[in-house]
Amino acid sequence: MSRSMRGLALVLTALLAAGACGGTGGERAAETASQGKAGREAAGAAATWWKPRPRVTWQWQLSGRVDTSVRAQVYDVDLFETPAATVARLKKAGRRTICYTAIGSAENWRPDFKRFPARVLGKKVEDWPGERWVDIRRLDVLRPIWAARLDQCRKKGFDGVEPDWMDGYRHDTGFKLTARDQLAFNRMLASMAHQRGLAIGLKNDLDQIPQLVGVMDFAVDEQCAQYGECGRLLPFVKAGKAVFHAEYELPLSRFCATSRRLGLSLIRKPLELTAQRQACPA
Protein backbone atom coordinates (compact mmCIF):
# COMPACT_ATOMS: atom_id res chain seq x y z
CA MET A 1 0.00 0.00 0.00
CA SER A 2 1.13 3.59 -0.49
CA ARG A 3 -0.52 6.89 0.07
CA SER A 4 1.03 8.41 -3.02
CA MET A 5 1.69 5.12 -4.91
CA ARG A 6 -0.17 5.78 -1.33
CA GLY A 7 -20.81 -8.33 16.94
CA LEU A 8 -19.21 -10.19 19.55
CA ALA A 9 -16.48 -12.28 17.99
CA LEU A 10 -14.54 -9.27 16.74
CA VAL A 11 -14.80 -7.46 20.05
CA LEU A 12 -13.71 -10.59 21.93
CA THR A 13 -10.74 -11.03 19.59
CA ALA A 14 -9.65 -7.45 20.18
CA LEU A 15 -10.01 -7.71 23.95
CA LEU A 16 -8.03 -10.96 24.09
CA ALA A 17 -5.27 -9.38 22.00
CA ALA A 18 -5.21 -6.40 24.33
CA GLY A 19 -4.80 -8.66 27.35
CA ALA A 20 -1.95 -10.53 25.70
CA CYS A 21 -0.15 -7.29 24.90
CA GLY A 22 -0.11 -6.03 28.47
CA GLY A 23 -1.40 -2.99 30.28
CA THR A 24 -2.75 -2.86 33.79
CA GLY A 25 -6.13 -4.24 34.73
CA GLY A 26 -7.24 -0.74 35.68
CA GLU A 27 -6.26 0.62 32.31
CA ARG A 28 -8.14 -2.15 30.50
CA ALA A 29 -11.20 -1.67 32.69
CA ALA A 30 -11.24 2.07 32.05
CA GLU A 31 -10.76 1.52 28.34
CA THR A 32 -13.59 -1.02 28.23
CA ALA A 33 -15.87 1.33 30.14
CA SER A 34 -15.04 4.14 27.71
CA GLN A 35 -15.82 1.92 24.72
CA GLY A 36 -19.05 0.81 26.33
CA LYS A 37 -20.13 4.40 26.86
CA ALA A 38 -19.28 5.31 23.27
CA GLY A 39 -21.16 2.27 22.04
CA ARG A 40 -24.26 3.11 24.10
CA GLU A 41 -24.22 6.73 22.97
CA ALA A 42 -24.01 5.66 19.34
CA ALA A 43 -26.43 2.74 19.63
CA GLY A 44 -29.38 4.54 18.10
CA ALA A 45 -27.49 6.15 15.23
CA ALA A 46 -25.28 3.12 14.69
CA ALA A 47 -28.19 0.77 14.00
CA THR A 48 -27.45 1.69 10.42
CA TRP A 49 -24.85 3.75 8.64
CA TRP A 50 -24.10 5.11 5.20
CA LYS A 51 -23.26 2.48 2.60
CA PRO A 52 -21.94 4.04 -0.63
CA ARG A 53 -22.96 2.26 -3.82
CA PRO A 54 -20.77 1.52 -6.86
CA ARG A 55 -20.16 4.27 -9.42
CA VAL A 56 -20.81 7.13 -7.00
CA THR A 57 -18.63 10.13 -7.91
CA TRP A 58 -15.94 11.32 -5.52
CA GLN A 59 -13.31 13.90 -4.72
CA TRP A 60 -10.16 13.16 -2.72
CA GLN A 61 -8.32 16.18 -1.32
CA LEU A 62 -5.74 15.95 1.46
CA SER A 63 -3.71 19.08 0.72
CA GLY A 64 -4.75 22.72 0.87
CA ARG A 65 -8.03 24.33 1.75
CA VAL A 66 -10.91 22.09 0.67
CA ASP A 67 -12.56 23.24 -2.54
CA THR A 68 -16.26 22.63 -1.91
CA SER A 69 -17.26 23.55 -5.47
CA VAL A 70 -16.16 20.26 -7.04
CA ARG A 71 -19.10 18.37 -8.52
CA ALA A 72 -18.74 15.09 -6.70
CA GLN A 73 -21.19 13.18 -4.56
CA VAL A 74 -18.57 12.12 -2.01
CA TYR A 75 -15.67 14.10 -0.50
CA ASP A 76 -12.75 12.33 1.18
CA VAL A 77 -10.79 14.93 3.20
CA ASP A 78 -8.39 15.12 6.15
CA LEU A 79 -9.84 14.49 9.61
CA PHE A 80 -7.65 16.92 11.52
CA GLU A 81 -7.32 19.72 8.99
CA THR A 82 -10.92 19.94 7.81
CA PRO A 83 -13.09 22.17 10.03
CA ALA A 84 -16.57 21.05 11.05
CA ALA A 85 -17.93 24.10 9.21
CA THR A 86 -16.56 22.75 5.92
CA VAL A 87 -18.15 19.37 6.55
CA ALA A 88 -21.45 21.10 7.33
CA ARG A 89 -21.23 23.13 4.13
CA LEU A 90 -20.65 19.99 2.08
CA LYS A 91 -23.52 18.19 3.77
CA LYS A 92 -25.83 21.14 3.18
CA ALA A 93 -24.97 20.83 -0.52
CA GLY A 94 -25.98 17.16 -0.44
CA ARG A 95 -22.48 15.71 -0.33
CA ARG A 96 -21.40 12.70 1.71
CA THR A 97 -18.11 13.07 3.58
CA ILE A 98 -15.27 10.74 4.59
CA CYS A 99 -12.58 11.64 7.11
CA TYR A 100 -9.08 10.50 6.15
CA THR A 101 -6.61 9.52 8.87
CA ALA A 102 -3.52 7.32 8.98
CA ILE A 103 -3.64 4.75 11.78
CA GLY A 104 -1.20 2.06 10.64
CA SER A 105 1.44 4.76 10.97
CA ALA A 106 2.07 7.66 13.35
CA GLU A 107 2.66 11.15 11.91
CA ASN A 108 4.64 13.50 14.11
CA TRP A 109 2.71 16.58 12.99
CA ARG A 110 -0.63 15.29 14.25
CA PRO A 111 -1.98 16.71 17.53
CA ASP A 112 -2.25 13.27 19.14
CA PHE A 113 1.19 11.99 18.14
CA LYS A 114 2.37 11.90 21.76
CA ARG A 115 -0.27 9.27 22.50
CA PHE A 116 1.86 6.76 20.56
CA PRO A 117 4.44 5.42 23.05
CA ALA A 118 7.95 4.80 21.77
CA ARG A 119 7.53 1.04 22.15
CA VAL A 120 4.94 0.91 19.36
CA LEU A 121 6.87 3.08 16.89
CA GLY A 122 8.78 1.23 14.19
CA LYS A 123 10.78 2.15 11.13
CA LYS A 124 10.26 5.32 9.14
CA VAL A 125 7.69 5.12 6.36
CA GLU A 126 9.66 5.37 3.15
CA ASP A 127 9.26 8.70 1.30
CA TRP A 128 7.17 10.20 4.13
CA PRO A 129 9.30 12.32 6.51
CA GLY A 130 8.02 12.44 10.06
CA GLU A 131 5.97 9.27 9.69
CA ARG A 132 6.70 5.91 11.34
CA TRP A 133 5.07 2.53 11.25
CA VAL A 134 3.25 1.39 14.35
CA ASP A 135 3.00 -2.05 15.90
CA ILE A 136 -0.57 -2.98 14.98
CA ARG A 137 -0.41 -5.96 17.33
CA ARG A 138 -0.69 -3.52 20.24
CA LEU A 139 -4.44 -3.15 20.12
CA ASP A 140 -4.41 -2.09 23.76
CA VAL A 141 -2.46 1.03 22.80
CA LEU A 142 -4.02 1.78 19.42
CA ARG A 143 -7.66 1.19 20.32
CA PRO A 144 -8.09 4.32 22.50
CA ILE A 145 -6.24 6.48 19.94
CA TRP A 146 -8.53 5.18 17.21
CA ALA A 147 -11.59 5.70 19.40
CA ALA A 148 -10.70 9.35 19.98
CA ARG A 149 -10.18 9.93 16.26
CA LEU A 150 -13.49 8.29 15.40
CA ASP A 151 -15.24 10.39 18.01
CA GLN A 152 -13.76 13.51 16.43
CA CYS A 153 -14.77 12.28 12.97
CA ARG A 154 -18.35 11.75 14.11
CA LYS A 155 -18.49 15.03 16.04
CA LYS A 156 -17.44 16.96 12.95
CA GLY A 157 -20.33 15.39 11.05
CA PHE A 158 -18.53 12.98 8.72
CA ASP A 159 -20.37 9.97 7.31
CA GLY A 160 -17.41 7.62 7.05
CA VAL A 161 -13.71 7.10 7.63
CA GLU A 162 -10.74 6.14 5.46
CA PRO A 163 -7.97 4.60 7.59
CA ASP A 164 -4.58 4.62 5.90
CA TRP A 165 -1.81 2.03 5.99
CA MET A 166 -4.07 -1.00 6.43
CA ASP A 167 -1.48 -3.39 4.99
CA GLY A 168 1.56 -2.84 7.17
CA TYR A 169 2.22 -6.57 7.28
CA ARG A 170 3.38 -6.34 3.65
CA HIS A 171 6.02 -3.69 4.46
CA ASP A 172 9.30 -3.50 6.35
CA THR A 173 7.86 -1.91 9.48
CA GLY A 174 10.43 -3.07 12.01
CA PHE A 175 7.89 -5.50 13.46
CA LYS A 176 7.21 -9.13 12.56
CA LEU A 177 3.62 -8.53 11.49
CA THR A 178 1.55 -11.31 10.00
CA ALA A 179 -1.56 -11.41 7.85
CA ARG A 180 -3.43 -12.60 10.94
CA ASP A 181 -2.24 -9.53 12.88
CA GLN A 182 -3.47 -7.30 10.07
CA LEU A 183 -6.89 -8.93 9.93
CA ALA A 184 -7.36 -8.50 13.68
CA PHE A 185 -6.33 -4.85 13.45
CA ASN A 186 -8.51 -4.05 10.43
CA ARG A 187 -11.51 -5.79 11.95
CA MET A 188 -11.05 -3.78 15.13
CA LEU A 189 -11.07 -0.58 13.08
CA ALA A 190 -14.31 -1.61 11.36
CA SER A 191 -16.06 -2.68 14.54
CA MET A 192 -15.31 0.59 16.32
CA ALA A 193 -16.35 2.70 13.32
CA HIS A 194 -19.66 0.91 13.08
CA GLN A 195 -20.27 1.35 16.81
CA ARG A 196 -20.28 5.06 16.08
CA GLY A 197 -22.49 4.88 13.01
CA LEU A 198 -19.61 5.54 10.60
CA ALA A 199 -18.95 3.75 7.32
CA ILE A 200 -15.39 2.51 6.91
CA GLY A 201 -13.29 1.74 3.85
CA LEU A 202 -10.55 -0.79 3.15
CA LYS A 203 -7.46 1.03 1.86
CA ASN A 204 -5.34 -0.82 -0.73
CA ASP A 205 -5.20 -4.13 1.17
CA LEU A 206 -6.05 -6.21 -1.90
CA ASP A 207 -4.78 -9.53 -0.55
CA GLN A 208 -7.30 -9.52 2.30
CA ILE A 209 -10.37 -8.42 0.35
CA PRO A 210 -11.97 -11.91 0.55
CA GLN A 211 -11.78 -11.85 4.36
CA LEU A 212 -12.74 -8.18 4.81
CA VAL A 213 -15.29 -7.32 2.14
CA GLY A 214 -18.04 -8.42 4.50
CA VAL A 215 -17.10 -5.95 7.26
CA MET A 216 -15.91 -2.98 5.17
CA ASP A 217 -18.41 -0.63 3.52
CA PHE A 218 -16.29 0.56 0.60
CA ALA A 219 -12.75 0.37 -0.74
CA VAL A 220 -10.18 3.05 -1.55
CA ASP A 221 -7.53 2.03 -4.05
CA GLU A 222 -4.55 3.71 -5.68
CA GLN A 223 -3.22 2.80 -9.12
CA CYS A 224 -4.95 -0.54 -9.65
CA ALA A 225 -5.15 0.26 -13.38
CA GLN A 226 -1.44 1.01 -13.64
CA TYR A 227 -0.59 -2.29 -11.96
CA GLY A 228 -3.31 -4.39 -13.58
CA GLU A 229 -5.08 -5.16 -10.30
CA CYS A 230 -8.52 -3.58 -10.66
CA GLY A 231 -10.23 -6.94 -11.13
CA ARG A 232 -9.27 -7.86 -7.59
CA LEU A 233 -11.63 -5.18 -6.30
CA LEU A 234 -14.70 -6.72 -7.92
CA PRO A 235 -15.89 -8.44 -4.71
CA PHE A 236 -16.78 -4.98 -3.39
CA VAL A 237 -18.73 -4.06 -6.51
CA LYS A 238 -20.51 -7.41 -6.53
CA ALA A 239 -21.48 -6.79 -2.90
CA GLY A 240 -23.02 -3.45 -3.91
CA LYS A 241 -20.20 -1.43 -2.31
CA ALA A 242 -18.32 1.50 -3.83
CA VAL A 243 -14.69 1.29 -4.92
CA PHE A 244 -13.07 4.73 -4.86
CA HIS A 245 -10.24 4.44 -7.36
CA ALA A 246 -7.47 6.98 -8.00
CA GLU A 247 -4.71 7.00 -10.61
CA TYR A 248 -1.73 9.37 -10.70
CA GLU A 249 0.26 8.69 -13.86
CA LEU A 250 -1.91 7.08 -16.53
CA PRO A 251 -3.95 9.33 -18.82
CA LEU A 252 -7.72 8.98 -18.57
CA SER A 253 -7.88 7.40 -22.00
CA ARG A 254 -5.91 4.40 -20.68
CA PHE A 255 -8.31 3.33 -17.98
CA CYS A 256 -11.71 5.06 -18.18
CA ALA A 257 -13.33 2.29 -20.22
CA THR A 258 -12.06 -0.45 -17.90
CA SER A 259 -13.02 1.42 -14.76
CA ARG A 260 -16.50 2.12 -16.10
CA ARG A 261 -16.97 -1.51 -17.10
CA LEU A 262 -15.93 -2.73 -13.65
CA GLY A 263 -18.14 -0.22 -11.83
CA LEU A 264 -15.35 1.70 -10.10
CA SER A 265 -15.53 5.35 -9.03
CA LEU A 266 -12.55 6.74 -10.89
CA ILE A 267 -10.54 9.97 -10.69
CA ARG A 268 -7.05 11.05 -11.74
CA LYS A 269 -5.20 13.07 -9.11
CA PRO A 270 -1.83 14.75 -8.61
CA LEU A 271 0.40 12.97 -6.10
CA GLU A 272 -0.03 15.83 -3.62
CA LEU A 273 -3.80 15.21 -3.55
CA THR A 274 -4.68 18.87 -3.99
CA ALA A 275 -8.10 19.96 -5.22
CA GLN A 276 -7.14 19.28 -8.86
CA ARG A 277 -9.16 16.40 -10.23
CA GLN A 278 -9.92 14.73 -13.55
CA ALA A 279 -12.85 12.39 -14.03
CA CYS A 280 -13.94 10.27 -16.96
CA PRO A 281 -16.58 11.75 -19.29
CA ALA A 282 -20.11 10.86 -18.26
What is the pLDDT, as a whole number, of residue 214? 98
Average pLDDT over residues 137-148: 98
Q: Please report how many Cα atoms fall inside a 13 Å half-sphere around the Cα of residue 167, on the Cβ side.
A: 18
Q: What is the pLDDT of residues 213-250, one digit of tens each?
A: 999 999 999 999 999 999 999 999 999 999 999 999 99
User: 178 or 3, which is more confident?
Assistant: 178
What is the pLDDT, as a whole number, of residue 47? 64
Confidence class of residue 18 from pLDDT cuts 50, 70 and 90? Answer: very low
3-state helix, strand, coil split of the chain in percent (to 5) is 40, 20, 40
Residue 9 has pLDDT above 50, yes or no: no
Average pLDDT, the chain: 88
Main-chain phi, psi angles of 59, to 5 degrees: -130, 135
C-alpha span between 194 and 14 (Å, rounded): 15
Q: Where are the beta strands (DSSP E) in the chain?
A: 58-61, 74-78, 96-102, 105-107, 121-124, 131-134, 160-164, 199-203, 218-222, 243-247, 265-268
Per DSSP, the three-state class of 218 is strand
The gap between the terminal CA atoms of the chain, to the nearest Å, is 29
What is the pLDDT, as a whole number, of residue 142? 98
* Domains of the chain, CATH where assigned: 9-268 (3.20.20.70)
Q: What is the pLDDT of residues 94-105, one digit of tens each?
A: 999 999 999 999
Average pLDDT over residues 9-34: 39
Residue 146 has pLDDT above 60, yes or no: yes
Average pLDDT over residues 144-160: 98
Q: Name the least confident of 9-18, 80-89, 168-177.
A: 9-18
Residue 277 has pLDDT above 90, yes or no: yes
